[in-house]
Structure 1
Amino acid sequence: MSDALDLGTKPTEAKVNNAPKGGKGSKGAKGNKGGGANYNINLVNAKDGEVVTRFPPEPSGYLHIGHAKAALLNQYFAQAYHGKLIIRFDDTNPSKEKMEFQDAILEDLELLGIKGDVVTYSSDYFQQMYDYCIQLIKDGKAYADDTPVEQMRYERTEGIASHRRERTVEENLTVFQAMTDATEEGLKNCIRAKISMTTPNKALRDPVIYRCNLTPHHRTGNKWKVYPTYDFCCPIVDSVEGVTHALRTIEYRDRNAQYEWMLKALGLRKVYIWDFSRISFVKTLLSKRKLQWFVDQKLVTGWDDPRFPTVRGVRRRGMTIEGLRTFILGQGPSKNILNFDWSLIWATNKKVIDPVAPRHVAVIKQNVVKINIEGGPAESYTEEKPKHKKNPDVGIKKIVYSSEIYIDQDDAQTFKEDEEVTLMDWGNAIMKTIHKDGDTVTGIDAVLNLEGDFRKTEKKVTWLAATDEATPAVLVDFDYLITKEKLAETDDVADFVNPHTEFKTPALADLNVREMKEGDIIQFERKGYYRLDTPYSEGSPAVFFTIPDGKVVQKYGAKK
C-alpha cells in the first residue's frame, strides 16, 4: 500500500484502486488503471508538500456518513500530496451548536482514522470576519437591510432589488453598529453582499453575510451579538488558514461563484474548489435538521439510533469502521450523483465481518418445537467446538448436548415422518413421529442416527439443547424511518414517517451469549449476522440487532 493510500487502514482492508500519488511538481493524482474509483481528478496547481485541505463540520449534530465521505476525501488528498488537513468547526450559529456535538464529531473522526494536523474554529476569526464586513461596507459592496425575511426571499427569487440597496456607506455602518450592539433597530437588520439582483445564479442575488443572534455562543459566550453566515465565513477562513483546495459536495456548486466573489472583493488569496457528489441512500435522511426532528419527537432513541445514518447509528447497527471506510473510498471523488441502495454498503461490510464473526445458534421462541431424541445422552453434557470452522483463530465455544432439543417452528414444518435430518454440529436423526395442533407442530419424537451420512440428507438444521443453559434473547430488525424514496427540501418529514420501523422477535440462544460484551458481532447460523446491543443479565434477555448482509434488497436492514 502506498503512503498516499495509508489512511490508518488495516492491511486487511480492501485497497482502493488508483491511489493518487503526489510528486514534485505533480499536477494531479495519477492512476485509474484497472477499474475502480477514479482519483485522477487533476487538482489545479496541486504541488507536493503544499496542498492544504479542510473538513469544516458545523457542531449542530452528530457525524453522518455523508460527512464521513467529505472528511475521508479531504484527508485522502492531503496525504496524497504530503500536505496538511485542517479540521475546522464552523461554529457561526449559536442557536444550533453544542459542545456535545463538537466532542462527538472529534471522537467519530478518530474512530474513522481521521485526525487533522490542526483543529481550528471559525469563532477564532470572528474579529477578522467582522473587520472584513466593515471593509465591504466601506467599499460599497455590502449594505444593511431590514426587509422582512419572506419578502426578501420573494425578491431574491424574482430578481427584485431591495429598497435598502442604495443606502449610503455611513448609514450602513451606523446600522451595522446597531446590530453589533443588538439595539431594537439593529435586530431588525442583516447585512447583505451587494453583488447582483439580475444574475440567473440566484446564489449571487445579494446573499446575507451577517445577522444578529442573541443566543450565547458555546465558545465565546455573550461577546458577540452578530455572526457571519457560512457563505461569508467559509471563503475567508479558508484563505486565511492557508487552504489551497476546498473539496466539498456538489450541492454547493451554484455557490462557487459566490465563494470566489467574496475572495476577490476582499482581496484575499485564491482557493481552488473541487466538487464531488454527496453520498446518499434511498429512504434515508442526511439533513441534520430533519434528523433532529426525529430526535425531538422521540421517534428514535437518539443520534446513535441504529436507524440513523450517523456514524454512531450505523456502527450500532453493526457497520464496521473498516467496512465504512472501504465503501466510501471505493466511491472516490466522482461528481456523478447516485442514490445508493443500502444493500451495497452492507455487502461491503459483510466481507469484513464474515471471516471473523463467531458462529452461534438461536431459535425463535414463538411456537418453538421440542424434539425428544431416542438414543440421546442420558444426561446433558458440554463439548468445545470452534466458533468458526474456517478460522480457528476466532476461538472455541461450548455446545450443550441433550436428549431434548429445540428447533424452529419453520424447520419443523418442513419435516416428514421417517425423514432423516442432519442436526448441525452433532449428526443425523430420524423424525419418527410429528405431533401437530392444526398446522402447528407441537413436538417431535426422533431417533438419533450418528452413523447416518450427512451428505445424503436434504435438510441441515440448527438446534439448541432444551436445558437451563438456553439463554433468553431478543432479535431486533429495522425498517426505514421514512416511506419516500428521496425527500425534497420542501417536503415536511412528518408526512412521510414510517409508523412501524422496529421489529422484535423473542428467541433462545446458546449459553455462550452470556459471556458476550456489548458491540460483539456474531452470526446466528442460518439466521444472519447480529450485533449485541444489550448484554444478557439475570432476568434480562440479550438484545441483538440484525446486521444486513447485502444479499437481498434492504429497507435499511429489514428484509422485504
Structure 2
Amino acid sequence: HHHRTGDEWCIYPLYDMAHGQCDSIEKITHSICTLEFAPHRELYDWLIEKLEIFPSKQYEFARRNLTYTVMSKRKLLQLVNEKYVAGWDDPRMPTISAMRRRGYPPSAIREFVKRIGVSKRENIVDISLLEFCVREELNKVSKRVMAVLDPIKVVLTNYPEGQTEMLETENNPEDPNSGNRELPFSRELWIERGDFMENPPKKFFRLSPGGLARLKSAYIIQCDEVVKNDAGEIVELRCTYFPDSKSGQDTSGLRPKATIHWLSVPHAISAEVRLYDRLFQVEDPSADDRNFKELLNPDSLIVKNAWLEPSLAEVTPGEYYQFIRLGYFTPDPDSQPG
C-alpha cells in the first residue's frame, strides 16, 4: 500500500533504479551527488545502458561541512520540529533561505564557493571564511547608519534647549556615488554605554570624566559630570560641546583621539535588534560523542531593544546596512513598521 497512490500499483521502483531514469527523462547531463552515492553509480550506468535511454552521467563530490553547525537534514529537521530554531529560514541555520534572511549577499556566497572549490576528499570548512566573504561584500554595498544598542544619555549643557540642527554625513565612504544624508542633532543624545568609562585604563581613548571625544560628523564634546541613580548606576553624562569643532569646519585646535557614534534623543526611533551568533558551541558537533542538541549555543540569539536614526523608519527586507562601529544588519521579513 503506497502512502500517495494507494493500491493502484503492485510494484514501485526503488531509488537506485529510478535515479538514472529520472535524470535521463529530464535530459540531465551531469547528475551531481555526494560521495556516498559512488557505490550506486554502477547500477545507475547499467540501467541507462540496458534501457538505451539518454546517457546521463553521475559525478560525486565531497559534502562541504561547515564548522559550528550540522549539515544532516535529519538533525536540522529535529531542530526545526522541536523549536530550537524558528524554521528552515532561521538565520542560524545553514540553509540558503536562512542566509538570505540573515542578509548574506548572493555574490558573497558565490565568492565563498569559488574559494573552497570542489573536492573528493571529505573536509570541514571554517565558517569564518564564509563570514569574511560576507563582510568583504557588505563593506562595498552597505549604507552606513547610526544605531545605539546599549544607550546612555548625554546632555550638552551649553547647547540651546529646543534647538535642532541638521548635520551632513556620508552614506558609504567605499562608494563615492552613494551620496550624503542629513542627521538631526540636539541637546540630548544617546551614545553607547561602552564608549564611556568613569575610571578608564591608560589606553582607553573614548569618553571619560574630563576627556574629549568627537561625535561622528558632528562636534567635539567633553564630559564634565557623571549622574548616577540610587543604585550607583550611571544614567546620564553632562557634557560641553565646542561650537567651533564642527566636522569639516573645525577651527577649535582640539585633538580628541576617538570618534564615537550618537543619536539625537528626540529623533531616534526604537527597534528590536536581533544579534545572531553561531548555532553550536563546538567547532565540529558531528565529531562529538554527546547528543548534538546539548552542544547548542544558548547565546546564539540575543534580542535587544535599541535606538536607530530616523532614516531607518522605512526600510525594506533585502537592504544592507552597517551600524557604524557595531556590525552589519538587514531588515527581517517579519519586521513591523513602528
Please tell me the TM-score bracket, short chain as reference.
Answer: 0.7 to 0.9
Q: Deviations 1:295-350 (Å, cap 9, x if unpaired)?
A: 22222222211111111111101111111122213333322333112211121122
Of the structure 1 ranges 477-486 and 287-296, higher mean CA displacement relative to structure 2 is found in: 477-486
Q: Which residue of structure 2 lines up, in the alignment, with residue 216 of structure 1?
A: 4
In 1, Cα distance between equivalents of 2:209 and 2:287: 57
Which residue does the alignment assign to 2:117? 332
**Post-superposition CA distance 1:400-459 (Å, at most 9, x none):** 1111111111111253322111111102112222334577432222111214457x3222
In 1: Cα distance, 2:19 partner to 2:280 partner: 32
Task: Using the aligned pairs only, state the percent identity.
Answer: 25
1:393 corresponds to 2:186: no
Gaps in structure 2 of 5+ consecutive residues = 201-206, 246-250
In structure 1, the residue corresponding to 2:3 is in which secondary structure? coil
Q: Is residue 45–residue 57 contact of structure 2 (8 Å, CA) maintained in 1?
A: no
Could you tell me how far 1:245 is from its partner in structure 2? 3.7
Question: Given residue 514 of structure 1, which amino acid in structure 2 is its aligned partner?
Answer: A
Q: 1:244 to 1:381 in 2, by over 3 A?
A: closer
In the TM superposition, what whole-angstrom CA distance separates every residue of 1:368-423 from its partner, at most 9, and x where no partner exists?
A: 32222133244123344332234243344331111111111111125332211111
- Distance of aligned partners of 1:354 and 1:224 in 2 relative to their CA distance in 1, 3 Å threshold: farther
Which of the numbers 474, 483, 500 marks the counterpart of 2:272? Answer: 474
Question: Which residue pairs with 1:542 in the alignment?
Answer: none
Q: Which has the larger radius of gyration?
A: 1
The 1-side partners of 2:300 and 2:186 are apart by 38
State how far apart, in whole Å, the 1-side matches of 2:63 and 2:116 are: 10
* Contact 1:216/1:222, CA 8 A, preserved across alignment: no
Residue 315 (str. 1) matches residue 315 (str. 2):
no
User: Which residue in the other structure is 1:528 paired with?
Assistant: 327
Q: Which amino acid aligns with 2:327?
A: G
Shift of 1:529: 0.5
Distance 1:266 1:514 in 2: 62
Q: Distance in 2 between matches of 1:453 and 1:461?
A: 19
The Cα RMSD (Å) is 2.9
Among 210, 226, 236, the alignment partner of 1:434 is 226
**Aligned pair partner of 2:193 in 403, 409, 412:** 409
> Does the Cα contact within 8 Å between 1:513 and 1:536 map onto a contact in 2?
no
Query: What do residues 264-322 of structure 1 show as CA deviations (whole Å, max 9, x unaligned)?
Result: 66666765443222222113222223222222222222221111111111110111111
Q: 1:326 to 1:421 in 2, by over 3 A?
A: same
CA 1:487/1:410 → structure 2, altered by over 3 Å: closer, same or farther?
same
Flag the 1:223–1:338 CA change in 2: closer, same or farther, 3 A: same
Match of 1:230 in 2: 15
Q: Cα 1:227–1:346, aligned 2, differ >3 Å: closer, same or farther?
A: farther
Q: How do 1:186-205 residues align onto structure 2 when only pairs under 5 Å count? A: none
d(CA) in 2 for partners of 1:279, 1:230: 23
1:373 to 147, 156, 162: 156
Residue 263 to residue 489, structure 1, CA distance change in 2 (3 Å):
farther
Counterpart selection for 1:445 from 209, 228, 238? 238
Q: Is the 8 A contact 1:464 1:470 kept in 2?
A: yes
CA distance in 2, matches of 1:498, 1:444: 36
Aligned residue number for residue 422 of structure 1: 214
Structure 2 residue aligned with 1:344 = 129
C-alpha contact (below 8 Å) 2:68/2:127 kept by paired residues: no
* Structure 1 gap ranges (5+): 1-181, 183-213, 539-560
> 1:421 corresponds to which letter in structure 2?
A
Correspondence 1:279 to 2:64: yes
Q: 2:270, 2:96 → 1: CA distance?
A: 29
Cα distance, 1:360 vs. partner? 1.0
- Whether the 8 Å contact between 1:514 and 1:535 is mirrored in structure 2 is no
What is the TM-score with the length of structure 2 in the denominator?
0.82
Q: Is the 8 A contact 2:213 2:260 kept in 1?
A: yes
Inter-CA distance 258–433: structure 2 relative to 1 (3 Å threshold): same
Give secondary structure in 2 for the equivalent of 1:327. Answer: helix
- Give the C-alpha shift of residue 495 in structure 1: 4.9
Once the two structures are superposed, residues 448-506 of structure 1 have per-residue CA deviations (whole angstroms, 9 ceiling, x without a partner) of 1214457x322211111121x21112221223444451326998654544445321121
Deviation at 1:252, TM superposition (A): 2.1
SS in 2 for 1:323: helix
Contact 1:409 / 1:441 at 8 angstroms: preserved in 2?
no
Q: Give matches, 1:89-108, under 5 Å.
A: none
Contact 1:324 1:349 in 2 (8 A): yes
Q: Number of paired residues? A: 319
Say if 2:158 and 2:241, in contact at 8 Å, map to a contact too.
yes
After TM superposition, which residue ranges in structure 1, 4 or more long, deviate above 6 angstroms?
Answer: 488-491
- Structure 2 Cα separation of the partners of residues 483 and 406 of structure 1: 34
Question: Which residue in 2 is equivalent to 1:68?
Answer: none
Q: Which amino acid aligns with 1:432?
A: D
Distance verdict in 2 for CA 1:507–1:402, change over 3 Å: same
Larger deviation: 222-231 or 291-300? 222-231
State the TM-score, normalized to the length of structure 1.
Answer: 0.52
Q: State the distance in 2 between where 1:355 and 1:402 align.
A: 31
